[in-house]
């Protein structure tokens, strides 16, 4: 058996790739800019060149068992990216087939949140768990759901879009998906910034956030203000955590997970967001589940998680995927 897998995380800005061994040690990693090439073929050429350079430098030629890729909207079943707002290339892209042909190595793909969930299950806070839900709080809200030790892909491969649960049925915020009231319009980093702007416009009390140009406020600014003791900034996190905790109580009646793992930029807010999440979950939980699901922070470095998760998928890659 070949001792390594190649994990690739295709993000909107960077593509990170790493050689990973069976224990989850990243032997070596590197990255390229995702958006540098207008055509996917040119991007793939550069990715191949740089990845092979890394592989050769680490004496890993012919030692790569499989390639695992996490990418926005990538479909585990079909190996395709059909469409995504986060990548500029012409769609659809038969990602798994093209990468597999280029490298001559079997390849499996999934979306970025599922890759992170696999990483967390294999190497992180969900080690040993068979039922958990990964919530990624970044520009949007993503999710990876694991039930009976398996990622939930659903009938079409697109299951686990919990960022698009409707948390406000009427008069909710506009979402990029074309609907209104989605969880991610409130609980993503972008959602936190929107909440900040709403609070600053509607309310009158002083806040450190008023020193910033209102249109430029980011979730990081809100975090910094809250850590400096700013009351309004703290309330913004309470508001965010309350909505997320209510939604997580709803998710619990679906799959009764052992834990929720919180991942991504906003997870850095720690107790600022965990405390209101836990309070809202507890207050809104159906009694049979009360006090049961844990809420944990990811144990993986954000930079590593997707590559590790994608690499874990590499062990599942089968030559038959190539034949699609």
Residues 6+ apart with CB under 8 A from 211: none
Contact between 282 and a copy of itself (CB under 8 A)? no
What is the pattern of x (binds a copy of itself, CB under 8 A) and - over residues 17-56?
Answer: ----------------------------------------
Minimum separation from the CB atom of position 251 to a copy of itself (A): 7
- The CA distance from 280 to 238, in Å, is 10
> Reduced to 3 states, what is the DSSP secondary structure of residue 280?
helix
Identify which of residues 196 and 251 has a Cβ nearer to a copy of itself in the complex.
251
Of 2, 6, 59, 63, nearest in space to 29 by CA = 6
Minimum separation from the CB atom of position 316 to a copy of itself (A): 14
Of 56, 78, 71, nearest in space to 307 by CA = 71
Minimum separation from the CB atom of position 43 to a copy of itself (A): 24
Contact between 291 and a copy of itself (CB under 8 A)? no
**Distance (Å) of CA 323 to CA 41, 98, 116, 190, 198:** 19, 11, 26, 40, 51
Residue labelled with tokens 């507890």: 282
Contact between 179 and a copy of itself (CB under 8 A)? yes
Indicate which single residue of 131, 279, 299, 316 sits in contact with a copy of itself (rule: CB under 8 A). 131
Minimum separation from the CB atom of position 111 to a copy of itself (A): 11
Identify which of residues 65 and 158 has a Cβ nearer to a copy of itself in the complex.
158
- The CA distance from 140 to 117, in Å, is 16
Tokens encoding 207 = 């806040």
Contact between 173 and a copy of itself (CB under 8 A)? no
Tokens encoding 76 = 């585990």
- The CA distance from 285 to 309, in Å, is 30
- The CA distance from 99 to 103, in Å, is 6
Could you tell me the sign of the dihedral formed by the alpha carbons of 116, 120, 123, 124, in that order? positive
Minimum separation from the CB atom of position 81 to a copy of itself (A): 12
What is the pattern of x (binds a copy of itself, CB under 8 A) and - over residues 199-218?
Answer: --------------------
Residues 6+ apart with CB under 8 A from 294: 258, 259, 260
Contact between 254 and a copy of itself (CB under 8 A)? yes
- The CA distance from 106 to 97, in Å, is 9
Identify which of residues 268 and 290 has a Cβ nearer to a copy of itself in the complex.
290
H or E, element range at 266: none
Residue labelled with tokens 């107790």: 271
Minimum separation from the CB atom of position 306 to a copy of itself (A): 21
Contact between 257 and a copy of itself (CB under 8 A)? yes
Contact between 159 and a copy of itself (CB under 8 A)? yes
What is the pattern of x (binds a copy of itself, CB under 8 A) and - over residues 234-253?
Answer: ------------x--xxx-x
Indicate which single residue of 3, 154, 206, 319 sits in contact with a copy of itself (rule: CB under 8 A). 154
Of 261, 248, 279, nearest in space to 183 by CA = 248
Indicate which single residue of 36, 56, 130, 203 sits in contact with a copy of itself (rule: CB under 8 A). 130
Identify which of residues 63 and 168 has a Cβ nearer to a copy of itself in the complex.
168
Identify which of residues 87 and 307 has a Cβ nearer to a copy of itself in the complex.
87
Contact between 166 and a copy of itself (CB under 8 A)? yes
Residues making contact with a copy of itself (CB under 8 A): 130-131, 145, 147-148, 150, 152-162, 164-169, 177-179, 246, 249-251, 253-258, 284, 286-289, 292-293
């Amino acid at each position: 058996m070949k001792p390594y897998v190649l994990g690739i995380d295709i993000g909107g800005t960077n593509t990170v790739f790493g050689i990973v061994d069976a224990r989850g040690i990243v032997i070596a990693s590197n990255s390229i800019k995702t958006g540098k090439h207008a055509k996917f073929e040119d991007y793939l050429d550069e990715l191949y060149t740089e990845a092979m350079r890394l592989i050769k430098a680490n004496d890993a030629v012919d030692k790569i068992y499989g390639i695992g890729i996490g990418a926005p909207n990538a479909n585990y079943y079909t190996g395709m990216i059909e469409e995504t707002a986060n990548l500029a290339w012409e769609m659809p892209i038969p990602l798994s087939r093209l990468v597999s042909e280029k490298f001559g190595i079997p390849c499996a793909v999934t979306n970025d949140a599922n890759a992170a969930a696999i990483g967390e299950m294999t190497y992180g806070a969900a080690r040993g768990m068979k039922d958990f839900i990964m919530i990624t709080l970044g520009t949007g809200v993503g999710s990876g759901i694991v039930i009976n030790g398996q990622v939930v892909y659903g009938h079409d491969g697109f299951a686990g879009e919990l960022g698009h649960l409707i948390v406000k049925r009427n008069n909710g915020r506009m979402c990029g998906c074309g609907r209104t009231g989605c969880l991610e319009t409130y609980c993503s980093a972008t959602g936190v910034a929107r909440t900040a702007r709403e609070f600053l416009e509607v309310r009158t009390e002083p806040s450190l956030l008023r020193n910033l140009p209102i249109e430029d406020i980011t979730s990081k600014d809100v975090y910094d203000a809250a850590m400096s003791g700013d009351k309004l900034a703290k309330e913004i996190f309470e508001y965010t955590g309350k909505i997320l905790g209510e939604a997580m109580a709803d998710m619990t009646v679906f799959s009764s997970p052992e834990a929720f793992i919180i991942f991504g930029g906003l997870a850095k807010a720690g107790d600022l967001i965990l405390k209101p999440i836990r309070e809202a979950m507890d207050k809104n939980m159906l009694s049979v589940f009360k006090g049961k699901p844990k809420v944990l922070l990811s144990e993986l470095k954000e930079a590593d998680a997707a590559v590790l998760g994608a690499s874990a998928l590499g062990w599942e890659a089968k030559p038959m995927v190539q034949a699609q």
